[in-house]
Structure 1
C-alpha cells in the first residue's frame, strides 16, 4: 500500500546537501543491489561526484526536499554516459529516494524536474541501467518514455550472487 504523499519541492543540489545525499546513497550500497558499489562512502569521498553536477549543463543533480522540514527525500542525476567525447550528447540518469520516502511520488517529481532542466541542453539520449529485479524503477522509467534496449546478464556480483542489468533508453 502506498505511503502518504508529502509536500515536496525540487531544486538543484548544493554542497550543503552532501552529508544527506551520501547517507541516502550508502543505504543502497549496504542494503541493495541497486548500485554495484560495495563499500560505503564518506561525504568527503563523495564530494567530487557532487561537484561534477553543476547547476547548469547536461550533468545535473536535482534534490527533493520536504517543504515542511527541508529534509532531503531523494535525488536524481544526469551524468556522463561514457567518457569518450562522441558520447557527449548522451547522459546516464538515476534516482535514489530515502528509504522511508518511497512510494510517495518522489521519483516522479525528481525525474520530471530533471528532464525539464535538460530540455534546453544539447542532450540527445538518456540511458538508465536497472539492476533486476526492480519493478518500481522499471515502471518509473517506462512512465518517462524509456524503452528497454537490452539486458546484460549476470554482469555484476554483489552479496554473493550475480545480477542482471536491464538497459533503457529515452530520446530527448
Structure 2
C-alpha cells in the first residue's frame, strides 16, 4: 500500500535525524550489496556526511517522515545529492542516491523523495546527475529510468563484498543547460 502525501513529510535532514539515518544506512551496509560500505557506522562517524549536505545548495539531504499514527516522525527514507568528484570542474555534477526503510519499500517513498530532490536541484547550478547502481537491483533501475536517467555504462566486478564481486551500472540525467 502506497503512502498518501498527507502521511509523509519531506524535509531537509537535521542533526536530530543522525541516529535514525545511520541505522537505516547500516541496514544496507550489513545486509545488502546496495552500498559498498562493509562495516556499520556509528552516528559520530556518520556526522561529517550529514554536515556535507546543507539545507540549500547542490548537495542536499532530504528525509521522508511518517507524520501520522503510532510511528509519527519515523524516517521512512532519504535522498541525497552529493559531490560527484572532488575536482573543481565537476562542481556542476552531482551523484544522487535514495535509501528507503525496508518496511516502506515499494510504497512510493523513493519517488516522492526524488520528486522533491529534483525540484530543489532545478534552482541550482547543476548540469548532470549520476547514479551508481550495484547490480542486480531492478527496483532502483526502474526508479531512475522513470526519472529520465539513461544507462551510460557498467563497471564490471568493481566492488567485492560478501565474498563476491559486484557490477555497478552508471546512470545519467541532464538537469540544466
Same fold by TM-score greater than 0.5: yes
Q: Deviations over 1:57-82 (max 9, x none)?
A: 00000000012111100000000000
- In structure 2, the gaps of 5 or more residues are none
Write out aligned runs for 1:106-121 (5 A): 106-121=109-124
CA distance in 2, matches of 1:46, 1:79: 14
- In structure 1, the gaps of 5 or more residues are none
CA distance in 2, matches of 1:13, 1:116: 16
> What's the TM-score, normalizing by structure 2?
0.95
Q: Does the alignment pair 1:51 with 2:51?
A: yes
CA distance in 1, matches of 2:51, 2:86: 17
Q: CA deviation at 1:16?
A: 0.3
Q: CA deviation at 1:85?
A: 0.4
Q: Which 4+ stretches in 1 moved above 2 angstroms? A: none
CA distance in 2, matches of 1:14, 1:141: 26
Q: Does the alignment pair 1:80 with 2:83?
A: yes
Q: Deviations over 1:25-78 (max 9, x none)?
A: 000000000000001000000000000000000000000001211110000000
Q: Which residue in 2 is equivalent to 1:5?
A: 2
Root-mean-square deviation over aligned CA pairs: 0.5
> What's the TM-score, normalizing by structure 1?
0.97
Q: Does the alignment pair 1:105 with 2:108?
A: yes
The alignment of Structure 1 onto Structure 2 pairs a total of residues equal to: 169
Q: Which residue in 2 is equivalent to 1:61?
A: 61
CA distance in 2, matches of 1:9, 1:111: 13
Q: CA deviation at 1:124?
A: 0.2
Q: Which residue in 1 is equivalent to 2:98?
A: 95
CA distance in 2, matches of 1:5, 1:145: 22
Q: Deviations over 1:80-101 (max 9, x none)?
A: 0000000000000000001111
CA distance in 2, matches of 1:165, 1:54: 28
